[in-house]
Each structure stands twice: as structure tokens, then as C-alpha cells.
Structure 1
Amino acid sequence: MSNGGLKIRVGIDAKWYFDGPPSGHMVVKNLVDEIIRAGDDRFELCLFLVSKNKIRAKAHFPAHVKLIFLPGIPNLLSNLFLVPLMTLLYDIDTVLFQNFGSAWPARALKIAYIHDVLFLDYPQYYTKTEVSYFKQMIRFAAKADQIITISNCEKQRMQKHGVTAPLGISVVYHGINGAFKPLHTYSENDIIALEEKYNLPRAYLLYVGRVNIRKNLISLVRALSLLQDFDLKLVIAGEPGRYPELDEYITSKQLWGRIIFTSHVPEADLHLLYARAKVFCFPSYAEGFGLPPLEAMQCGVPVVVSDSTAMPEVCGTAALYANPNDENEIALEIELLLNDQALYNEKVKQGFAQARKFSWTKAANEILTLITEAYAGRENYSEAQTQPRL
């Protein structure tokens, strides 16, 4: 071991800690915070960060965490060239890469944290450029010692496509930030302020996430058009993407008055936006995990989700499920919740219980345990290889 056998020096790809892809930023920030909070004496932590955030990082992180700053270049190139170089210079024992691993250096244990490989089964939801870029992730995954992914559904997808590593694929579920809380925990002034800021109606369905074809908002909007007997609007909170089919349908059915697009919502507002919703809807065609429904559950809001990919694994019996290709079925499940108060209350109760199964503290501890076991296994293997033969 590089530091006298006392601690494993762990390098964590944390370039998305302060900014980056919304889902990647959320995962990295929560995991890094929990790993640092654990204060585990088995490890010496080194964070790979982007140079533009140097001032913020130095003020933010505790002194015992080593900060290593890198130029702001694409993640693939950074992980392929810069992170390995820093791993050698700082004598790091184990590196946790985000998505893109690296073929070198051979001495350090390489763990690739690959969130999903949906593009292998659903290339129609990605551009040709995206598919080409993500394929490099698979190429370099073959050079990793171990892979971590976020659901058994994704593990099975990787195995089906021959994505593997010598130490195997481990599943570590995402967690839910403790800031997501039920509506009764907020003050009346905060609720009124949010309603005025986003012009919220009395009752609304909520969707949170990207606005693109894979998220299947067109089916949700079609379901909304079928719910004529309810004074109900749809709030869509997420970064807008190119989705002409959705715009055309909303225009053709004159639904603009029933839909509110908020674009990006700051975290502080997002928590209350969830809690204030009547029903949360997530009709996505394909998800590696699908965290928003769990966030809604923790806020005491029942959910209707698609019955595909990882959603049943993540939501269990707490959600109502619908075929993402059938807007009538989506509308029916929403209507069931709105018309049956007993069912509504039961799903709220089940949602709280389901959400409690997922925490970032648990995820961070599982990753640290995997690092410890993988490193110990590799050390034992190396020692055995160097023993003289009798």
C-alpha cells in the first residue's frame, strides 16, 4: 500500500460535484458528501475536480481531503489521460471513475461507476453522436477491475451485452436526499411564495426530469387530455430538449393552458414543488434507475410510473404502473388515485416505506466496502503471484 499500509488512498472522479449533467451532478455530490461525512479511517480521500471550481472547492471541502484540479475537458478525455496521470503522480491506490474508465495505470485498482447502458437496447432515444460517444464507455469498461451500476436491471443489461470486469459487476442503488419532505413540514408563507413564483394551480400532476423522447412526455400529455372531469394541470419541471412532437400535440389539442413548463428549478424550490403536487407521473420508456418517483414518495406524493426497465425494481408495490405506450392506461391509473381517497392514502403510506429503503449514506458505505474488499482481494492475489514456487 502506498502510505505505510494504514489507509487506502482513494481517488474519486468528482468533476461533476459543482456542475455537470443534472443527474451526474446529483449523484456525485451526494455520494462525495456522504463519503466525507463517514470520516472512515480506512481511506485517504483524493477528489479529482475541475480547475474553474478551485476557489469554491478549497473553501468547501475539509482540509484532510486532497483536492486535485484538472482542466475542464470532456469527461472521456479527462478520464482517459489526465486522471490516470494524476493517479501516478499522487500514488493513488484505487480510482473510482464516473462512466469512462481507463486502461492505465495498471498498478491502481480501477472501478468504473457506470450509471446505465440504455443506449445499447434503446439507440432510438439517442443521437448518433451520443451512441458513438457512449460506446467508448463500454470499450474502457473492459479495462476496469470492477464495475458498479445502479440497478439489477442495468447489471443484467450489461451482462447481456458482454460488459464485464474481473471482479464482477456490483449494484449500488441511488439514495434520496433528506431535503425531500412532505408538505406539512413547510410554512404557509413558503407554499404561497412557490405558488406565486410558478403560477401553480390548486391541483397539478408533476413530472420532473429531462424533456426528451425517452421520457415519453407525449403519452403523459395525451393522458392529461383524457382527464376532462378534473380541474387539473400538468407541471413539467426540467431542462427543455428538442421534442417537436410534443409541441405539435399540445398545440393541436389546445392544451397550453393546462400545462406549465418551469424549465430548470432550483433545488430549494424543487423540494416544495414535489410536496405540493397531487400526483407524480413518470411515464419514461427506459430508466437505469429512475430517482424522481422515489423523491416524490418521500414527499408524500403517490406516483404513476411506466411498467418498464428498472421502474418495478425501484418502486416496488408503492407505485401504480401503466404501459408507457398506452395513454388510456396512464389516465386510468391517475384517475384511480384521484377518485379513491383510501387508495390514495395507502399509496402515500407505501411510498414513505419504499423511500426509506434508499439512502445516500447506505450507497456511500456500500461503495466504500466494495473498494475495501476489491483492494484486499487484489493485494492478496498480487502477494500470491510473487511467492516463490516450491
Structure 2
Amino acid sequence: MHKNREDKVKLGIDAKWFFEGPPSGHMVVKNLVDEMIINNNGRFEIFLLLNAKNKQQAQAYFPADVRLIFLFWMPNILSNLLLIPLMTRLYGIKIMLFQNFSSIWPQQLFKIVYIHDVLFLDHPQYYSRLEKLHFRQMKHLAGRANGIITISNTEKERMVKNQVGAADDIAVVYHGIHKSFKPLTHQPADRIQEVINKYDLPEKYLLYVGRVNSRKNINNLIRALSLLEDNDLKLLITGEQCHNSTDLEELIHTRHLADRVIFTGHVPENDLHLIYAIATVFCFPSYAEGFGLPPLEAMQCGVPVVVSNRTSVPEICGDAATYIDPDDPADIAKKINTLLNDSCLYEEKMMAGIRHAAKFSWQQSANEILDLISYAYVDRKSYKEA
């Protein structure tokens, strides 16, 4: 039996990135909030804290039993330090789930901070001086939270090593995969053709999805492209190019690959599902990840994946992926060639990926977070006991 509204504990969720924000952050927040609302089952009275500019969208989107609080815009860290604590006082919110940056006050507020990663602590070379200064506050403020949620055991180990939090105070909740990612045989034929035409997709292509910056190691993927046995195979790079990206254009020109490398920029999620499913092989040679969701999305689409053997990627991809040394373009090319030349291995990795991806769902992620909050706040147990 559900509790009456006045009997429920008031849970606030920092949902400022629900309608827009950094691409990966927006995707995580949207999926988690949607599933937390669906799977709440009367446990909490949910308050969503959103940007005021999204007020009309939010009022039309969310069910009536979800309370909406609208905030005027300010940088995320300042909003979490100033605006959100004030709103928790005004609305009597007892528990607050923050994104990245915890607050200092109110003292009686039970604070849980969802920290996506602290890669900047171990891999500072991939971040600007301003980014490092900004993200460093994440570590300082985490000490003021009652609990931390992060996205992989690898990331938890990094946090403990760098004294972001104690092991007992950090819980790991894996990301999920949206159900819209599915194999080509499950996609509508008219949509497949529409996306092929829209992006002028080649008949066969390697696919990379994610930000285009030095940490993602696209340069070695391009070097590997020039070593492949199939000279007709193209490389499709889908994602936003960042300010610290390697000068890829010069590398492409030097390697005479201008007709084989295609940049799409950021694409809408509805198109991304098809771009994944149509791909021949998915490649993810990243040097450092907190989780590494794109390989799982590719797996769920029935596409074999070739991934880096660094940081969290082996933890997340398990035995379903083909692993490469990201520093070695020859190794990347060799592993891709092997997949393309061995139809049995290709089929085996395709099926293994589909099975592995089935272990990850946003519903499961949301339920784990709700359970953690229940144990940690309502029953006053530690994450370790939960």
C-alpha cells in the first residue's frame, strides 16, 4: 500500500540536465530520472530541480505526482552550492541527489552525490587548466556528502586511491542501455533507408561514437585505418569535436584518407540507434573511461566491438569485446582484420555482445539507486551493508 504524500520522505533530484546539457550527462540524467519515477512505487515524494527555461516542457512531460522546482540558470557548481540547498529548506526536502558537486549546507540535509568520474585526477593531461580547477571542487565537496554513487568499480578504486571518499561511502551503480538500441533486423526498413540517405552512409564502415578529443585516441584509430586489408572500408566518427582534440585533419591528409574518414558531428538519438545498427564494426580505442557506454550500445545493436584494454572498459565489456592496445595502431588494425576475415568469430562476437548487453538496463540502475537511498537514509545503513 502506498504511503500518503505527507508520510513519504521528500527526495530531491538534481535534474537540470534532463532536457539539455553535456551529451553524456543529459543521456544519463534523462534515463535515470525517467526510470526512478516509474519504479519509485510510492517510496518517496519526488521533487525534480530543473532549469526554469525548460518549465513548459517539464510541465507537459512529467506526471502530476512529481513535484517540479524551477531554478534560474547559473553554473552547475554554484547552483548546487547556493540554489538547491535553499530550495531543500523551502520545500522541506530531506534527501538530495546531486550531480557531481555536493552542497555544504543545510547540515541536516541528507546528501548523496552522483559522481560520473574523476578521471582528471589520474589523467590530468586530457584536461585544460580551467577544467582541472573546476573538477577539483568535486573532490573537496564529496567529503561533505553522506554518500557517493559512481559508475564502475574501476572508478570507485580511483576515488578511494585519490581520497575522494572512503570505500564504505561509495556505491557502484552501472549505467543501463536504452531499449531503442537494437539489431538492424529489428529496425524499420523505411527508417534504415532514411538514415542511410540523410548521412550518405557507406555500404561498410567502422564506427566510433563519443567526443572527439585526445583522450578518445581517434588519431591511432585513423592510423589503424590506413593499415587495414580492406581499402574500401570507411571510418565514421560520430560526436562533438572538443577544443583539445588532436589535429586530425592533418593526419588524415598525410595518410591520404580524406575519402575514407567521415565526421557526422553530433547526431540526434533517434538517428544514432540506426547508425550503430548499420555499422560493420564498432571501435572504441579510448585511453581512459569511467564507464564506457558506447561499446554496450553497439553490442545491443548486434555489432561486434573492438575496444581499448584500459581503465574501466574491460570491466564493463567483459568477454564480449575484442581488446586492443590503444597505443599500437598495428594491433588495432590486426584485431579489426581478424574480425572481418573470420565470419565465425564475427558471428560469435556479435551474439556474445547481444547477450552481454542484456545485463544492463536503466530500470535496474534506477532501482539500485532507490534501494541505496532507502537503506542509507530510511534504515540508516551504510552502502557496504546495503
Using structure 2 for the length normalisation, give the TM-score. 0.95
Give the aligned partner of residue 212 of structure 1: 213
Give the aligned partner of residue 300 of structure 2: 298
Conserved? CA contact 1:319–1:351, under 8 Å: yes
Give 1:185 shift. Answer: 1.3
Give 1:135 shift. Answer: 0.2
Question: Does 1:346 find its partner at 2:364?
Answer: no
CA distance in 2, matches of 1:376, 1:348: 43
CA distance in 1, matches of 2:123, 2:339: 31
SS of match in other structure, 2:226 = helix
CA distance in 2, matches of 1:256, 1:105: 56
1:337 to 330, 336, 339: 339
Conserved? CA contact 2:48–2:67, under 8 Å: yes
SS of match in other structure, 2:232 = coil
Conserved? CA contact 1:147–1:165, under 8 Å: no
Give 1:167 shift. Answer: 5.7
Q: Which amino acid counterpart does residue 237 of structure 2 have in structure 1?
A: I
Conserved? CA contact 1:282–1:305, under 8 Å: yes
Give 1:188 shift. Answer: 2.7
Give 1:162 shift. Answer: 0.9
Conserved? CA contact 1:12–1:95, under 8 Å: yes
Q: Deviations over 1:86-134 (max 9, x none)?
A: 0111100100000000111111110010000000000000000000000
CA distance in 2, matches of 1:268, 1:9: 34
- Is the alpha carbon distance of 1:324 and 1:379 closer, same or farther for their aligned partners in structure 2, counting shifts above 3 Å? closer
- Is the alpha carbon distance of 1:55 and 1:4 closer, same or farther for their aligned partners in structure 2, counting shifts above 3 Å? closer
Q: Which amino acid counterpart does residue 250 of structure 1 have in structure 2?
A: I
CA distance in 2, matches of 1:157, 1:379: 24
Conserved? CA contact 1:141–1:165, under 8 Å: no
Q: How many residues align?
A: 378
Give the aligned partner of residue 146 of structure 1: 147
Conserved? CA contact 2:160–2:167, under 8 Å: no
Question: Does 1:369 find its partner at 2:371?
Answer: yes
Supply the RMSD in Å over aligned alpha carbons.
Answer: 1.5
Q: Deviations over 1:165-186 (max 9, x none)?
A: 5961000000000000100112
Give the aligned partner of residue 279 of structure 1: 281
Give 1:7 shift. Answer: 1.5
Give the aligned partner of residue 246 of structure 1: 248
Identical residues among aligned pairs (%): 60
CA distance in 2, matches of 1:148, 1:135: 17
Give the aligned partner of residue 256 of structure 1: 258
Give the aligned partner of residue 51 of structure 1: 52
CA distance in 1, matches of 2:246, 2:218: 12
SS of match in other structure, 2:10 = strand
Using structure 1 for the length normalisation, give the TM-score. 0.94
Give 1:189 shift. Answer: 2.4
Give the aligned partner of residue 16 of structure 2: 15
Conserved? CA contact 1:18–1:25, under 8 Å: yes
Give 1:229 shift. Answer: 2.9
CA distance in 1, matches of 2:381, 2:371: 15
Q: Which amino acid counterpart does residue 42 of structure 2 have in structure 1?
A: D
CA distance in 2, matches of 1:379, 1:290: 30
CA distance in 2, matches of 1:39, 1:152: 25
